[in-house]
Amino acid sequence: MIQISGVPFQPNENWKLESIERAIIQHMLNAPILYSFYSEDEFWFEIKVRKNITKSANEMNQSQAQFTTFEYARCNPNYWQLTMEGGFLLRPDVQPADAILDIYRNSSLYAFECATAAVIIYYHATLYSIGSYLFNSLFQNLYLYSWHTDPDLGIITFYSNHFLPGDVVYINNPDFHPDTPWFRGLNAVLLNDGNFFGHGFSIRTMEQIIQILNEYRKPGSQQTAYLTNLVTRPSFNYLGSLVSQQTSRRAYKMQYPIVHHNKCSISYVHYLYYLSNGINKKDK
pLDDT at 281 over 60: no
Report how far apart, in Å, the C-alpha atoms of 278 and of each of 53, 145, 274, 282 are: 30, 16, 6, 14
Sign of the C-alpha dihedral, residues 253, 270, 159, 40?
positive
Lowest mean pLDDT among 172-181, 183-192, 245-254, 255-264: 245-254
pLDDT digits (tens, 9 = 90+) for 23-61: 999 999 999 999 999 999 999 999 999 999 999 999 999
pLDDT at site 284: 33
pLDDT at site 250: 55
pLDDT digits (tens, 9 = 90+) for 138-164: 999 999 999 999 999 999 999 999 999
Yes or no: say if 228 and 210 are a contact pair by the CB < 8 Å rule.
no
Lowest mean pLDDT among 11-25, 74-88, 105-119: 11-25
Yes or no: say if 7 and 13 are a contact pair by the CB < 8 Å rule.
no
Model confidence band, residue 248 (pLDDT cutoffs 50, 70, 90): low
pLDDT at site 282: 47
List, in sequence order, every beta strand (DSSP E) within the chain.
Answer: 2-4, 7-8, 35-37, 66-67, 80-82, 88-90, 111-112, 143-144, 156-159, 168-172, 185-190, 196-198, 202-204, 226-233
- Domain extent listing, the chain: 2-277
pLDDT at 249 over 60: no
pLDDT cut 70: percent of the chain above it: 95
pLDDT at site 14: 74
Mean pLDDT of the chain: 93
pLDDT digits (tens, 9 = 90+) for 236-245: 999 998 888 7
Model confidence band, residue 277 (pLDDT cutoffs 50, 70, 90): confident
pLDDT digits (tens, 9 = 90+) for 11-20: 777 778 888 9
The residue type found at 216 is Y
Q: Of 167, 172, 160, 181, which Cα lies nearest the Cα of 71?
A: 181
